[in-house]
């Protein structure tokens, strides 16, 4: 019985493993929301979310572990322009994203 439960959980994890497209959509939405919380206009926050999504599509490294994935974005391009930004490390599991240290 416990093997059936483990198999079912594994199948749910397999089918809910987020894709690159889902991650870039999450990132754009998250940036839009955070900018609006800080009082930025809707136009500026939408523009920034779109730019972040485009940057992520071109610089995203996804490691697929079948039941979960890790995502990495090297932010050194922004650091070259003087921004104090850390690289982005995320875990995608069950269609959600969790920051990794």
- Give the closest residue to 27 by CA, choosing from 61, 1, 7, 56: 56
- Which pLDDT value is given to residue 1? 86
- Which pLDDT value is given to residue 99? 94
pTM, two decimal places: 0.84
Cα 75-23-72 angle, rounded to 5 deg: 35
The mean predicted confidence, pLDDT, of the chain is: 91
- Which pLDDT value is given to residue 52? 87
Pairing verdict, β 69-73 and 60-64: antiparallel
Q: pLDDT tens-digit profile of 30-75?
A: 989 988 998 888 899 899 889 888 988 888 999 999 999 999 998 8
The rounded distance, in Å, linking the Cα atoms of 39 and 70 is 31
């Amino acid at each position: 019985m416990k093997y059936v439960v483990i198999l079912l959980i594994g199948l749910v994890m397999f089918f809910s493993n987020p894709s690159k497209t889902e991650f870039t959509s999450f990132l754009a939405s998250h940036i839009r929301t955070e900018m609006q919380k800080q009082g930025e206009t809707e136009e500026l926050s939408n523009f920034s979310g779109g730019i972040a999504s485009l940057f992520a599509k071109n610089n995203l490294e996804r490691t697929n572990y079948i039941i979960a994935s890790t995502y990495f974005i090297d932010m050194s391009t922004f650091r070259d322009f003087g921004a104090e930004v850390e690289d982005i490390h995320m875990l995608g599991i069950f269609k959600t994203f969790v920051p990794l240290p």
